[in-house]
Amino acid sequence: MNAPTHRRSARSVVIMLVSLAVYGALDLGSKEWALDNLSRARAGEPPPVCVPDEHGGVVYQRIPLQSRALIPGVMRLTYAENCGAAFSMLRTAPAWVRGSVFGVATVGASVMLMLMFVRGVGGKMFAASVPFILSGALGNLADRIRHGFVVDFFQVDPALFVYPVFNVADIVIVIGVGLLLIDGMLKPRPADKSELARGPSPS
């Protein structure tokens, strides 16, 4: 039988919302910095947003500037426009498909996580994971609504290995999912039926 849950206090909800706002501001602020410092506007009419050409490629709305070393030999700052989800999934799908899938998935998952948090589901790790996941998901959704694409700018140095360019939202989502997994592993295991049948051991 599952242990009963208790609604989280108003203080816990406030802390979660403040954390959500801080993580979200860090994500959106860093993306604005990348737009201003790692790219520049095109002269004239920009190309269609996230529309593949005859070769399947997508021309960026802004012109990337030269990549910068963040941690030499490890991490670089490289402007990129992601029309898809993680690892550029659905990058070449029609705009209405991307908007529907990303919008419904983000709103649905956000509402579910909020309800689970308020109802007291999970332990401390679950509670800590919620603002990470929500801020990342909503931050990337905000980019898609404003720009039609997600601004990415962290790049693992290609000399190490090739990995998709990512952003702060991706980082906090990974942290949140990691906390969720830890929370699941910390849950007490149900007692074995044979142990229940034997009853408590004599003292």
Catalytic residue list: 152, 170
Kind of pairing, strands 62-64 and 39-41? antiparallel
The full 3-state SS of the chain, as one line of letters, equals CCCCCCCCCHHHHHHHHHHHHHHHHHHHHHHHHHHHHCEEECCCCCCCCCCCCCCCCCCCCEEECCCEEEECCCEEEEEEEECCCHHHCCCCCCHHHHHHHHHHHHHHHHHHHHHHHHCCCCCHHHHHHHHHHHHHHHHHHHHHHHHCCEEEEEEECCCCCCCCCECHHHHHHHHHHHHHHHHHHHCCCCCCHHHHHHCCCCC
d(CA 35, CA 18): 26
